[in-house]
Amino acid sequence: MTTLRIAPLTRAAFAPFGDVIEMADAHHYPINQGFTERFHDLARIDTGTEGGETIVSLFRSQPRAFPFEITFVERHPLGSQAFYPLQNRDWLVVVAEAQARPTAGTLRAFRASGRQGVNYARNVWHFPLLALEADSDFLIIDRKGPGSNLEEVTLLEPAILKI
């Protein structure tokens, strides 16, 4: 059985899967007479396919017991999906590049800080939210509209995720 190694979430390491959403090293400038700092253009939201609309939702994720088996992944063929934590709590991201059928060996795991979000590019395989410490809330930006925008696949062999 494959055990996933958890790497720190960085823009460079995550680039094949989408965008890392964070203020560090982001283009920013003052607005509102200097009382607000805008961190600009942090992710490329992609939701317009087949008449889709961009929506904002909140998710509450419960922590899981580790070690944990990853037995399936999902993807969204009609749009990207962005997650940003609302508490300053670390969380895990498990992804595989857009391909016909991911395997345990093609999965990558990242530890995101509570000040980092991700935007999964269209068709990137990923495991659902993995909170670490306590119930954790996330802001989600994704697609609603016609068409089937969720595919799930069971892995032929599970992967083990250890903290």
pLDDT tens per residue across span 102-154: 999 999 999 999 999 999 999 999 999 999 989 999 999 999 999 999 999 99
What's the pLDDT at 7?
A: 98
pTM over 0.85: yes
The answer for 47, left when phi > 0, alpha when psi is -120 to 50, beta otherwise, is alpha
**140, β-bridge pairs:** 57, 83
What's the pLDDT at 147?
A: 93
Please state the domain count of the chain.
1
* Residue 96, domain CATH: 2.60.120.480
What is the span of the domain harbouring residue 135?
A: 2-161
Residues 6+ apart with CB under 8 A from 127: 70, 72, 73, 74, 94, 95, 107
Residues 20/116, Cβ–Cβ less than 8 Å = yes
